[in-house]
Structure 1
Amino acid sequence: MMDKALFIGVEHIGIKALDLEKAIQFYTKTLGFKFLYRIKPGEVELVFLELGGTVVELVEVIDGRRFEDGVVNHLAIRVSDIFKAIEHLKVQQVELTSSEPMALGEGRYNFFFRGPSGEKLELYQV
C-alpha cells in the first residue's frame, strides 16, 4: 500500500526553450509569469517561473538536442521523502532513468523515471 503523504503535489512542468532569454521575456512580459529563480546544476540552465500557483521550468536547449522528450519535457511531482518514493517506484517495477537522486543544492533533490507510455517524469524534494 502506498503512503498517501509520499506524493504531495505537482512541483512544476518543464518546457524546452530554444532561446532561453526570449522564452523568459515571453512568459514574464507577454503572459505575466513571475520570475522565481534560475540555476545551472549541470550543463543545462533552468529558469523557474510561476503563474497562479503553477510553476513552469524553462529547460535550455543545447547542442542541437531539441525535443527528444518533446516540447513539454517533463512533469515534476513533489515528494516528502525522495528516497522512500524511489523505493516505492522500484517495488512497482517502474522504469528508472536515474540511479541516484541528484542534489540540487539548498536541500533540494530530483530523480527521473518513465511513465507507462515513456513519458519523462521527475520526483522533486525541497
Structure 2
Amino acid sequence: MAFNKSLAGYFDDLQHIGIPTDDLQKTVAFWEKLGFKMLGNFDTDDQGNEVVFMQYAHLTLEIWTGDGAVRQTGAINHISLNTSDADAAFKAAKAAGFKMKEDKVQHLDFWQHGIKFFNIEGPNAETIEFCQIVKD
C-alpha cells in the first residue's frame, strides 16, 4: 500500500503506547522506578481486569491485564495516535483503504467523559490506534 496523506490531518501527536501485562503491580512498580507517575486506574470488566495510564514528560503508557503478556520482543500491543475527532478519522481511514480492525468507532468509559477509538493494521500486522479523549 502506498503512503496516503489523507489521514495525516486527523491526528496531532502520539497519545500512548499500549502494553499488556500479567502482573499489574510489578509492571507499575517497574515504570515508577523509571520515573513514570500514574495518571489513572480503571476497571475494564467484571472479572477484575484493570488498565493503568502512566506518564513521564510527554510519554504516556497504557498498561492492562486480561490479554496476557507476550514476554518477548514485540510485546508492545499498539501505538495510539491522538485525534480530536475519531468519527471523522474513521471515515477518512476507510475511504483511504486502510485495513480496519473494527467495523465502527469504539467507546469506553475511561477518563471523565470517556474515549472513542478505532484501530488500523499496518504492513507488519502492527496495530495503530486513533484515540479521542472526549472533552464533554
Q: TM-score range by the shorter chain?
A: 0.7 to 0.9
The residue that corresponds to 1:48 in the other structure is: 53
Structure number with higher strand proportion: 1
Partner residue, 1:86: 90
Q: What is the CA deviation profile of residues 52-94 of structure 1, one whole-angstrom value per residue up to 9, with x for unaligned ones?
A: 11101112144xx4429x4111000111211110111111111
For structure 1, which runs of at least 5 residues remain unmatched after alignment? none
Q: Which runs of 5+ in 2 are unaligned?
A: none
Q: CA deviation at 1:3?
A: 6.7
Q: Distance in 1 between matches of 2:15 and 2:24?
A: 20
Normalising by structure 1, we get a TM-score of 0.84
Alignment of 1:51-62 (within 5 A): 51-62=56-67
Q: Counterpart amino acid of 1:34?
A: K
1:37 aligns with 2:40: yes
- Count matched residues: 122
Alignment root-mean-square deviation, CA: 2.1
CA distance in 2 between counterparts of 1:34 and 1:81 reads 27
